[in-house]
Each structure stands twice: as C-alpha cells, then as structure tokens.
Amino acid sequence: MVSKLPQPLSVLVTGGLGFLGARLVRELLLLRAPDGNGHLVRLVRAMDLDVHCARKALSDLNEDEWCRVDLCQGDVRDPTSVHEACRGMDAVIHCAALIDVWGQESDEKIYSVNVEGTRLLLKYSILEGARVFVFTSSVEVTGPNSRGDPIYDGDEETQYEPDLKFPYSRSKAEAEKLVLAANGCPLSPRPGFQQHELTALVLRPMYIYGEDSRFLLYHMKKAVANKNVIIRSSLPTAIVNPIYVGNAAYAHALVTVRALQAGQRAPAEVGGKFYYVSDDTPPSSYTDINYLLLASLGFGVASHLPLPYALLYLYAAWLELCALLLRPFFRYVPPLNRQLLVMLNTHFTFRYKRVQDAFGYKPRFSWEESRTRTTAWLDKQLMSM
C-alpha cells in the first residue's frame, strides 16, 4: 500500500485547538519523512472558532513547530471560511463538532455544525483538490440503543439495531453517510498530482480521555465536592474501551498519511469505510476509568449507584417530563436523561483490528504512559482548585 509521497504535505485540522484537534496538530508535526530526514508534514492549518487561545492549546510547541502551524479562525458553517481553509490542502481531518448528551443545545444548532458543516467541508475539499478526507465520528453512532442491548468485542461487521436518541448521535451518523458517499468523487485537478478521486473515510474513536478532557475535569470537581469520592454513574459491569487522546490523535495522523501514500488506489482499498479506534487501556466502565486515573491522587470511588438502576431510570424519566412541561416558560436542562443513563450502564466493547490491518495502527502510548500523563495533568488541576 505504501508509496512515495510527492512532497511534504499540508493538512487541515478543523477544531484544531480543541481537545483532540490540538493533540492531532502535534502528532502531525512530529511525523518524519520515510528516510528519517525532515518532516513529513510541512504545514498544519488549525481551524477553530477562536484562535486567541492558540498559545495555551499548543503551549508545548517549539519555534520550529510554530513556523509550520497556520492558525485559521473560522466557523465550519461559513462557506467563505471553509473555502479559505481548504485552499492548498492535501488532506482534511474534520474533528470539529458540537458534542451534547444533556440537551443543552438546540437540535438545529447541532445539525448545522455537525451535518451542514461536514457537507461544506466536503464540497470545498473536492473543489480545492484535497486528496484525503478523514472524519472524526464516535462510537455513539452505533449505540447503545434505548433497550441497552450490549455488544461484546464487536467489530465493523457486527450487526446491531440502533435507535439513536441523542441529536448528537443522529447528526454524526448523518454526517458519516455524507463522508462515505463522497468517497471516489472526482477532484478538481491540481498540478503535479496523479490522484483524481477523493479518499473519504471515517474513524470511530471510543470514549477519549487524557490531558485537557473537560469530562475528566468535571468528574474530578464533583468528586472533590463529594469528599474526594467519585460518584458512581455506571455499573462496574458496564465495560467500554476508553482510548487515550494521544493514541486517538496518532491514529488520525497515521491513517491520513497512509491514505495519501496509497494514492489512486486508496478510494477502493481503504476509502468508503468506517474504522473503530481504541488502544490498550484496560476495558472498564466510565466511572472506573475515572477512578483508575484519580486513585493515586487520593480519590476513592462509590461501590454502588446513588439509587438502584430502575429507580434512576424512573427519576430520569421524571426529569425529562418536567423539562417538557416547563418548555413553554423556560428551558430546563435535566442533569440526567434516560439515554445518558443507558449509555453509561451498557456493556459496549469493540476490537480495532480493521484499522490495524488496513493502516498498521499500533497505539503510540502504552497504558502506563497514558495514565501517568493524564494523572499528572489532573494533579496540576487539583493543585490550582
């Protein structure tokens, strides 16, 4: 599959200053040429809504790396911004998304960002001759469904009946369809390139943890308020496959470059498909991965849910009813809903063999290193609280 790349590459990363995006920018800058001389990526364009936080988001870059970063302020819903961002790019990695599992955002806003933003990026990627389009999706496009049907070590061929309740999940599933349908679309010609069709593919990471995770920080703050005991929101038997943000970013960078190396064969060989992505983090529940990362800082974890699961489900249903009844007067966002409760308490695990076989992906960071890095960051946040 591997062939010589014609020149140092230019890559657009949307959401390039976000949790995953900023780490992906770093991983792309670190990639070396096949002969070990020089960098593989000459330019990373980081597109985000606000680039004023760039120095904080990318604080560990050296001056040489900063010289290869192009900050691009823009909204994925704005055609002018998207067109300018795609200009001259060899590949586009679309990480930007509006994530919401609580119902804080309107359905219209979620769809405009996650679906229409993806549609615009595909349009201008093709128009500008970008050869590879990698879309960051989520395991939540698979489920779990509202019945809480489990999956044990599933893969891309696993049959499942989703009934996606979150607008976020539905929007990502719809955006996936746009991306996969675009695979093989004719590209606008660019001088010096022989690839004439777009390679479009989808990565479905599991729950991503690591430095700068707002979800981890939220749960740590809740635990501090609970006398350093993590509140259990998921049963110990509800196992999932968390992935460290460094490995998620590395997988995106590796897949993008390997797809570019495959050239004109890529649309048929690796394009038009989705790939689950995880690493060697111990399979655990959402609550227990938080505990594994916080235990060395003196945190404990509750052994049981605050209420029996059935009562929590009824409580979530009651909260949703209250939100519905109050809607004519003001917007009430419940702290818990039934689908979130089901997601947190369903065994949902997947293998990542397809991405290994197709791209040679192996986690760059071991579980020990991932935990050490994450816990060190959490310790710093704890000291500043």
Catalytically active residues, by annotation: 168
What the block records as the tokens of 126 is 């093709």
What 3-state class would DSSP assign to 205? strand
| Residue environment code for 220-239, b if the CB has 16+ CB neighbours within 10 A, otherwise e | beebeeeeeebebbbbeebb
Residue of 84, 56, 106 whose CA lies nearest to 70: 84
Upstream peptide bond of 144 is cis (omega within 30 degrees of 0): yes
Q: Determine the Cα–Cα distance for residues 173 and 19; give it in Å rounded to an integer.
A: 21
Q: Distances in Å between the alpha carbon of 348 and those of 232, 345, 354?
A: 18, 9, 18
What the block records as the tokens of 282 is 């111990």
CA atoms within 13 A on the CB side of 193: 27
Q: Determine the Cα–Cα distance for residues 96 and 324; give it in Å rounded to an integer.
A: 30
CA-based max dimension of the chain: 65
Q: Determine the Cα–Cα distance for residues 351 and 112; give it in Å rounded to an integer.
A: 32
267 phi, psi to nearest 5 deg:
-55, -35
Angle 245-262/367-384 helices, nearest 10 degrees?
130
Q: Determine the Cα–Cα distance for residues 326 and 320; give it in Å rounded to an integer.
A: 10
Whether the Cβ atoms of residue 234 and residue 219 lie closer than 8 Å to each other: no
Q: Determine the Cα–Cα distance for residues 75 and 126; give it in Å rounded to an integer.
A: 18
* Type and span of the H or E element at 94: strand 91-94
Whether the Cβ atoms of residue 14 and residue 76 lie closer than 8 Å to each other: yes
Q: DSSP string covering 270-287, please?
A: TTT-EEEE--SSPPB-HH
